[in-house]
A and B are shown apart, each in its own frame.
Chain A
Amino acid sequence: MLLLLTPALVVIVALLVVPLAWLAWQSIRQDGGFTLANYQRVFTGTYLDTFLLTFKLSFIVTGVTVLLGYPVAYLAASVSSRWSALILGMVILPFWTSVLVRTYAWLVLLQRTGVFNKALLATGLIEQPLQLAYNPFGTIVAMVHILLPFMVLPLYSAMQKIPPNLSQAGASLGGSPFYVFTRVFLPLSLSGVMAGVTLVFVLCLGFYITPELMGGGKSIMVSMVVSRNVEIYNSWGAASAVSVALLVCVFAIFYAASRIVPLEKTLSAK
């Protein structure tokens, strides 16, 4: 049995486990000795700002995707299978479209001469085109769009398993719709919320393409710091310490979430 596992293991160990171990080792080495200087940099100055900004953006994007994703999943789980297939199809179609393509589409939509600015100018609501792209706003809009399916799908799969007669029983016992929703449906759907939030938050933390293209070079995310240190400055020490710090955050989140929802369930939506 181990023999069957070997080819797959060799690929993953050689291309992922070994370099991760090397990154960890590299982050505490300098001129042949032990150092914590790289980590000192992570927790001070611009690197700390980068981490804080990344967490802030990730919280915003995750929060917005929950708010937008929950009603979509709720409706999809409560209508006939024909309608729910249509709703899920409209969620999955963009899901299967390249991230690069979708970021490109948002650049087109949000740029100064883009569709939104033109529409707003035409209605007379604004007189000057708004700066919508190449800033944190554009990054958030595009990231919410890209990550929303990762929220809707786990939510839907959790809600689908909630027997509809539970809510009916609550209503027949005199609960108002709001009371039944908050006391019966919402608690039962929390495992889906947990899976979706974990997935979206972790994907946000490491997101690269959209912030790089949409951010306009002003809001630097952790992923961009890693990339720049390797590509431009060839500074592996700094890149590795930032990578290890990011990795620790991600694994801590996965571990905490796995105590509530099995990891397999969270990842299978990806």
Chain B
Amino acid sequence: MNKLSFGRICLIAGVALILAFLMLPVLIVVPLSFSDTRFLTFPPPGYSLRWYYAFFGNPTWLAAARTTLIASTSAALIATPIGVAAAYAIQHGTLSVMRYLRMVLMLPLMVPIIIVAVGVFFVFTKTGMVNTLPGLILADTMLGLPYVLISVGADLRTFDHTQEMVARSLGMNRVRSFLAVTLPQIRSSVISAAVFVFIQALDETVVALFISGGENQTLTRRMFVTLRDEIDPTIAAISTMLTALTLCLVLSVVVSRRSVAARA
């Protein structure tokens, strides 16, 4: 491992190229968003905040951003508790059907997103929930549930359940013992689950194309529809902000996980 053979140098060079390929698009969008011309030339002839003003000065873009933020936050707030409850039930349930029920809950990850979209669209047309905010929140909740199950489920499997048993033997009821003993110790996986649900809802485009519209269209839906017609530099500005937001959220999860690990 210590000496650098010819083969290893080739490997490192190749991997460096592949990593450059991976980073390239992310690195190119950011400078473009600060361009002062509407032509997407690179490098930009001059820099300005023109496209950020274009975003913040346009009521339709702002309304779309508002819809997305409300839907993502609500989905995270709903999917996390019901997902934690489900993960707990699967971990400690004794019924043999639990394994199959777990598979059912993982379905949103397995079914191709376009089919999920068509299915949700069908249900919503029958119940009059197309283009409504509650419908969007419900769909994002459904799509986020598997992430909660994976993240919290993995943590519950390694958690020493006898601690909760002790609390119950000392007279706490089941709910209180979970809240007082278990929850604080699986906190970091619960928080990262909530963040995953939020990010996934922020990014979700295909289902939103079918079920969000009018006053309640999401940011990604509007971006997609705009992109079908022209490559508008405003989208570079929005992309940069979306990426920055996601990056901050992911980093905060990583840091909080690390501080938890350091304390343990």
Seen from chain A, the residues whose Cβ lies within 8 Å of a Cβ on chain B are: 1-5, 7-9, 11-20, 22-23, 68, 71-72, 74-75, 78, 87, 90-94, 96-109, 111, 113-115, 118, 145, 148-149, 164, 177, 202, 205-206, 208-209, 212-213, 223, 226-227, 230-231, 236, 239, 243, 246-247, 250-251, 254, 263-264, 267-268, 270
Q: A15-B138, A227-B114 are in contact. Are A98 and B122 (CB under 8 A)?
A: no
Q: A9-B104, A12-B108, A71-B15 are in contact. Are A104 and B26 (CB under 8 A)?
A: no
Q: Can you spell out 28 A-B residue pairs with CB atoms less than 8 angstroms apart?
A: A1-B93, A4-B88, A8-B82, A11-B82, A12-B108, A13-B104, A15-B119, A16-B119, A22-B122, A68-B18, A72-B18, A75-B11, A75-B15, A91-B22, A100-B223, A100-B227, A101-B239, A104-B235, A104-B239, A105-B24, A106-B25, A111-B231, A114-B40, A206-B114, A230-B210, A231-B210, A247-B112, A254-B110
Are A12 and B145 closer than 8 Å at their CB atoms?
yes
B85 interface contact, C-beta 8 A:
yes
Measured between alpha carbons, how far is A251 from B106 in the docked complex, in Å? Answer: 13
Residues of B within 8 A of A205 (CB): 112
Closest to A80 in B: B1
B194 interface contact, C-beta 8 A:
no
Q: A101-B242, A230-B210 are in contact. Are A9 and B24 (CB under 8 A)?
A: no
> Of residues 1 to 56 in B, which have CB atoms within 8 Å of A's CB atoms?
1, 5, 7, 11-12, 14-15, 18-19, 21-26, 28-29, 32, 39-42
Measured between alpha carbons, how far is A77 from B23 in the docked complex, in Å? Answer: 20
B203 interface contact, C-beta 8 A:
yes
Are A96 and B145 closer than 8 Å at their CB atoms?
no
Instruction: Pick the residue among A11, A12, A101 that contacts B243 (CB under 8 A).
Output: A101
Instruction: Pick the residue among B109, B112, B146 that contacts A223 (CB under 8 A).
Output: B112
Are B223 and A74 closer than 8 Å at their CB atoms?
no
Instruction: Provide the main secondary structure of the chain A interface.
Output: helix
Instruction: Pick the residue among A4, A115, A231, A236 that contacts B85 (CB under 8 A).
Output: A4
Closest to A108 in B: B40
B260 interface contact, C-beta 8 A:
no
How many interface residues does chain B have, given as a range? Answer: 35 or more
Residues of A within 8 A of B113 (CB): 206, 208
Measured between alpha carbons, how far is A113 from B231 in the docked complex, in Å? Answer: 12
Q: A2-B89, A71-B11 are in contact. Are A109 and B28 (CB under 8 A)?
A: yes
Residues of B within 8 A of A14 (CB): 123
Residues of A within 8 A of B235 (CB): 104
Are B42 and A251 closer than 8 Å at their CB atoms?
no
Please give the distance in Å from B250's CB to the nearest CB on chain A: 5
Are B32 and A108 closer than 8 Å at their CB atoms?
yes
Measured between alpha carbons, how far is A20 from B243 in the docked complex, in Å? Answer: 33
Residues of A within 8 A of B111 (CB): 16, 20, 247, 250
Closest to B116 in A: A16
Closest to A22 in B: B122
Please give the distance in Å from A137's CB to the nearest CB on chain B: 15
Measured between alpha carbons, how far is A91 from B22 in the docked complex, in Å? Answer: 7
Most buried by A among B119, B120, B139: B119
Q: A12-B142, A97-B246, A270-B109 are in contact. Are A226 and B22 (CB under 8 A)?
A: no
Residues of A within 8 A of B205 (CB): 99-100, 209
Are A209 and B82 closer than 8 Å at their CB atoms?
no
Instruction: Pick the residue among A18, A113, A230 that contacts B118 (CB under 8 A).
Output: A230
Instruction: Pick the residue among A8, A145, A251 that contacts B25 (CB under 8 A).
Output: A145
Are B86 and A5 closer than 8 Å at their CB atoms?
yes
Measured between alpha carbons, how far is A177 from B40 in the docked complex, in Å? Answer: 47
Please give the distance in Å from B12's CB to the nearest CB on chain A: 7
Instruction: Pick the residue among B26, B86, B112, B120 that contacts A8 (CB under 8 A).
Output: B86
Residues of B within 8 A of A109 (CB): 24-25, 28
B107 interface contact, C-beta 8 A:
yes
Are A100 and B224 closer than 8 Å at their CB atoms?
yes
Are B29 and A105 closer than 8 Å at their CB atoms?
yes
Measured between alpha carbons, how far is A14 from B127 in the docked complex, in Å? Answer: 11
Please give the distance in Å from A53's CB to the nearest CB on chain B: 16
Are B94 and A1 closer than 8 Å at their CB atoms?
yes
Residues of A within 8 A of B15 (CB): 71-72, 75, 87
Measured between alpha carbons, how far is A56 from B28 in the docked complex, in Å? Answer: 30
Most buried by B among A3, A16, A106: A16
Measured between alpha carbons, how far is A114 from B25 in the docked complex, in Å? Answer: 12
B263 interface contact, C-beta 8 A:
no
Task: Please give me the 3 A-B residue pairs with the lowest Cβ-Cβ distance, nearest first.
Answer: A206-B112, A19-B119, A105-B25
Instruction: Pick the residue among A11, A99, A104 that contacts B142 (CB under 8 A).
Output: A11
> Of residues 81 to 101 in B, which have CB atoms within 8 Å of A's CB atoms?
82-83, 85-86, 88-90, 92-95, 98, 101
Residues of A within 8 A of B202 (CB): 98
Are A11 and B199 closer than 8 Å at their CB atoms?
no
Instruction: Pick the residue among B23, B86, B250 that contacts A96 (CB under 8 A).
Output: B250
B180 interface contact, C-beta 8 A:
no
